[in-house]
């Protein structure tokens, strides 16, 4: 299955020149946990509630006055749309992230996959595996 089918094709985005108050407004309006900061068609950061608290509120900055590019972190982790879901889960664990923008061949944003998306995708199959392991072995057929 394609990773884009596990995640979302419609991530919430803002230009890096937006004010942080726009990020807060969009998060509330769209009921999402993160917003992707964009430079044209390329994702450059994922802004979460934690980022807003640590980089804006805790430092006393005004969300209406501070721009997204002033609070962005560097080294955004992205994942190719062609990557299989289990590999994306490993990538998240290795990098210590819970959200990965999904990018196309040219690095353009095509979606986002979250830790929760992968748990919902992988979870049922692990439950089935556990159930099959717990089952008593079938009787051997003579022959």
Q: Let me know if residue 59 belongs to a domain.
A: yes
Q: Let me know if residue 112 belongs to a domain.
A: yes
Strand partners for 109? 103
Residue for token pair 């998306």: 117
Q: Let me know if residue 139 belongs to a domain.
A: no
CATH of the domain at 104: 3.10.580.10
Q: Let me know if residue 119 belongs to a domain.
A: yes
pTM score of the predicted model: 0.82
Distance between CA atoms of 58 and 19, rounded to whole angstroms?
Answer: 17
Q: Residue 79 belongs to what domain range? A: 3-134
Any residues with CB less than 8 A from the CB of 131 and at least 6 apart, and which? none
Structural domains counted in the chain: 1
Show the tokens assigned to 87.
């590999």
Distance between CA atoms of 87 and 19, rounded to whole angstroms?
Answer: 34
Q: Let me know if residue 143 belongs to a domain.
A: no
**Contact (Cβ atoms closer than 8 angstroms) between residue 35 and residue 26:** yes
Strand partners for 19? 67
Q: Let me know if residue 140 belongs to a domain.
A: no
Nearest to 62 by CA among 22, 29, 32: 22
pLDDT in tens, the chain (143 residues): 788 899 999 999 999 999 999 999 999 999 998 999 999 999 999 998 888 888 888 888 889 999 999 988 878 999 999 999 999 999 999 999 999 999 999 999 999 999 999 988 887 666 655 565 566 666 666 65
């Amino acid at each position: 299955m394609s990773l884009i089918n596990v995640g979302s094709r419609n991530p919430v985005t803002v230009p890096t020149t937006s004010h942080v108050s726009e990020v807060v407004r969009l998060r509330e309006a769209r009921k999402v946990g993160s917003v992707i900061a964009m430079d044209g068609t390329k994702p450059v950061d994922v802004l979460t509630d934690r980022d807003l608290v640590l980089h804006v509120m805790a430092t006393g900055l005004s969300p209406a006055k501070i721009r997204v590019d002033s609070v962005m972190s560097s080294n955004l982790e992205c994942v190719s749309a062609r990557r299989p879901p289990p590999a994306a889960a490993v990538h998240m664990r290795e990098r210590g992230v819970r959200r990965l923008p999904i990018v196309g061949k040219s690095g353009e944003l095509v979606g986002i996959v979250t830790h929760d998306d992968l748990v919902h995708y992988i979870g049922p199959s692990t439950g089935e595996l556990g159930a099959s392991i717990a089952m008593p072995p079938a009787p051997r057929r003579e022959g």
